[in-house]
């Protein structure tokens, strides 16, 4: 997909972080935008900001863990613009702490958004793109946590490993049918976004009643510190991602220094040895 001007982009998790940066970049490129987020107020702010700068943009509050919401998003997209050319399955949340201290609600929430959100996006929008029979592209946001398994991040790691496997399989399946639809897998490391504050958007039915454990409090502090220390901005991640779409490049690893830990994990598997803590592996 080499041209963006006049094309239609659908972006989930669009009210903050990467999603907002994808929307701003799309607007700069002259795309028509359909923005989705569970936070309706924040979404309205983004839509109004982009519209005031001349973008052709609409927004729809969407819980991507709900298949019906994603189907409604597709219906609204076609109603407004008739087609969809670029899909960012980007909405994501996280919960951290020792794995045995995570609740059933933690698992349901993170897997519901991070895995089923991507699955619903692929399930609903891919047939539309295939029927159009013109260049289109899907970008699924995973994480370096989908390539390695850092401690105290079990649910998040599991969700992002699932997105990696899902997207690699999507790539194979699209090639099997000779589709004009491409796909990319975005695997960033820590970037200053709102991921550390995702708890604020957790739906009431998935909230925990008890106090956080010591491991959960520590992991949350470490995550906030790591996110703040990120050297790349969300805008730079958006630039790199649009470049990958233009070049039809599958893997988008925005922090190449992490590849030392990725190789270490692969070597652990190949040599059948116990896993190395990726946070202790030397960075390139």
> What is the rounded CA–CA span in Å between residue 184 and residue 182?
7
Instruction: Provide the pLDDT for residue 220.
Output: 75
Quick count: other Cβ atoms within 10 Å of Cβ 202?
A: 18
Two tokens, residue 27: 């607007």
Catalytic one of 156, 171, 242, 251: 156
pLDDT in the model for residue 279: 81
171 flagged as catalytic: no
Q: What is the pLDDT of residue 193?
A: 56
Non-local CB neighbours of 200 within 8 Å, separated by 6+ positions: none
Residue 131 pLDDT: 97
Neighbours of 131 (CB within 10 A): 9
Scanning the structure block, which residue is given the tokens 């359909």? 34
- CA 114-35-130 angle, to 5 degrees, is 75
What is the Cα–Cα distance from 188 to 165, expressed in whole angstroms?
A: 16
- Give the domain ranges of the chain: 8-256
Q: Which two tokens stand for residue 247?
A: 């070049």
Q: Burial level of 132, CB count in 10 A (0-12/13-18/19+)?
A: middle
User: Which positions ≥6 away from 71 have C-beta within 8 Å?
Assistant: 120, 124
- CB environment 173-189: b (16+ within 10 A), e (fewer): ebeeeeeebbbbbbbbb
pLDDT at 219 (0 to 100): 74
Predicted confidence at residue 191, as pLDDT, reads 54
Kindly tell me the sign of the dihedral angle through the C-alpha atoms of 152, 158, 159, 164: positive
Residue 204 neighbours by CB distance under 10 Å: 5
From first to last of its 284 residues, what are the pLDDT tens digits of the chain?
889 999 999 999 999 999 999 999 999 999 999 999 999 999 999 999 999 999 999 999 999 999 999 999 999 999 999 999 999 999 999 999 999 999 999 999 999 999 999 999 999 999 999 999 899 999 999 999 999 999 999 999 999 999 999 999 999 999 999 999 999 999 998 655 555 567 778 888 889 888 887 887 877 777 666 566 556 889 999 999 999 999 999 999 998 888 999 999 999 999 999 999 988 765 55
**Class for the domain spanning 8-256:** alpha beta
The pLDDT value given to residue 238: 97
**How distant, in Å, are the alpha carbons of 13, 20, 252 from that of 36?**
6, 10, 23
3-state SS class at 91: coil
């Amino acid at each position: 997909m080499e041209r963006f001007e006049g094309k239609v982009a659908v972006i989930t998790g669009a009210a903050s972080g990467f999603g907002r940066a994808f929307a701003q970049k799309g607007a700069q490129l002259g795309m028509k935008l359909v923005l989705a987020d569970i936070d309706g107020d924040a979404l309205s702010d983004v839509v109004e900001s982009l519209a005031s700068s001349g973008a052709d943009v609409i927004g729809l509050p969407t819980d991507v863990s709900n298949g019906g919401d994603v189907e409604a998003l597709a219906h609204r997209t076609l109603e407004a613009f008739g087609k969809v050319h670029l899909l960012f399955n980007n909405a994501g949340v996280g919960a951290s702490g020792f794995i045995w201290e995570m609740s059933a609600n933690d698992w349901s929430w993170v897997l519901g958004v991070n895995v089923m959100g991507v699955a619903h996006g692929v399930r609903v929008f891919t047939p539309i793109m295939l029927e159009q029979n013109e260049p289109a592209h899907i970008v699924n946001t995973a994480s370096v946590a989908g390539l390695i398994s850092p401690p105290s991040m079990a649910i998040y790691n599991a969700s992002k490993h699932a997105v990696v496997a899902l997207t690699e399989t999507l790539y194979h399946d699209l090639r099997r049918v000779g589709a004009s639809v491409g796909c990319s897998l975005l695997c960033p490391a820590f970037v200053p976004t709102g991921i550390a504050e995702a708890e604020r958007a957790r739906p009431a039915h998935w909230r925990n009643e008890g106090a956080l454990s010591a491991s959960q409090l520590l992991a949350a502090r470490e995550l906030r510190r790591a996110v703040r220390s990120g050297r790349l901005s969300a805008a730079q991640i958006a630039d790199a991602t649009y470049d990958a779409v233009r070049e039809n490049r599958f893997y988008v690893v925005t922090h190449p220094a992490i590849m030392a830990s990725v190789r270490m994990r692969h070597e652990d598997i190949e040599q059948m040895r116990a896993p190395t803590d990726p946070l202790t592996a030397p960075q390139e």
